[in-house]
Amino acid sequence: MQLTATGKQIEIGEALRRHIEASLNSTLEKYFKTAIEAHVVVSREAHLTRAEVSIHIGRGIVVNAHAAAGEAYTAFDTAAERVAKQLRRYKRRLRDYHAKARDHSAASERAMAYVLAPIPEETESEEATTADAVDQGGGGPAVIAEMSTELPRLTVGEAAMRMDLADAPVLLFRNRSHGELNLVYRRSDGNIGWIDPELDPTRRMHRRAS
């Protein structure tokens, strides 16, 4: 596994780097031996130290976790334990998923992902001008970054697992059962929401048959 450990406004010494490597290697050997790469970022956050751990354990599967504490070792250990907890939770399903992924090696598409600038608050005098610009097709948030991303073909259960492992708020995917775009998202009550648009049923029947 390739490991990258970076410090932001904080120095990562050799002892901490060795601790990070030993901890992640131990966890991955125990739960999931096919990890490709890991990235750890330790940064200063006010009076706390924040550790962010991201591990790419296979095709399309990324495990993210973070924690903050008064000391760098404690912050990292807490984040690493959250990674281990996720791997324990999904150990069997991850193995099943990777077995299926080998049988669906081309079952994904590419899509463009965009980062938009936040919409600033407006004064009353600006509201009318903005409304006119929108009516004429202008306005709207500016695109500040764009990137290519994967649009995977998954079951709803697989999509929920991938979203949870990545600690992401939402995941867009193509539903393997009928081929249409679906979305899973994290609700404020802690449950996972699933959006499955009501499309022409004949299209779904045709996709199932094919």
Could you give the 3-state DSSP secondary structure of residue 29? helix
Q: Are residues 69 and 7 in the same domain?
A: yes
Q: Are residues 150 and 196 in the same domain?
A: yes
Low-confidence ranges of the chain (pLDDT < 70): 97-108, 122-139, 200-210
The number of folded domains in the chain is 2
Q: Whole-prediction pTM value?
A: 0.74
Q: Domain with 87 in it: what CATH number?
A: 3.30.160.100
pLDDT for res 210: 42
pLDDT for res 129: 55
Q: Are residues 113 and 203 in the same domain?
A: yes
The residue among 59, 83, 103 that closes a domain is 103
Q: Are residues 89 and 117 in the same domain?
A: no
Q: Are residues 138 and 123 in the same domain?
A: yes
Q: Which stretches of the chain are DSSP H helices?
A: 14-31, 72-103, 124-135, 156-165, 201-209
**What are the CA-CA distances from residue 41 to residues 34, 72, 103 (Å)?**
22, 11, 35
For residue 186, give its domain range: 108-209
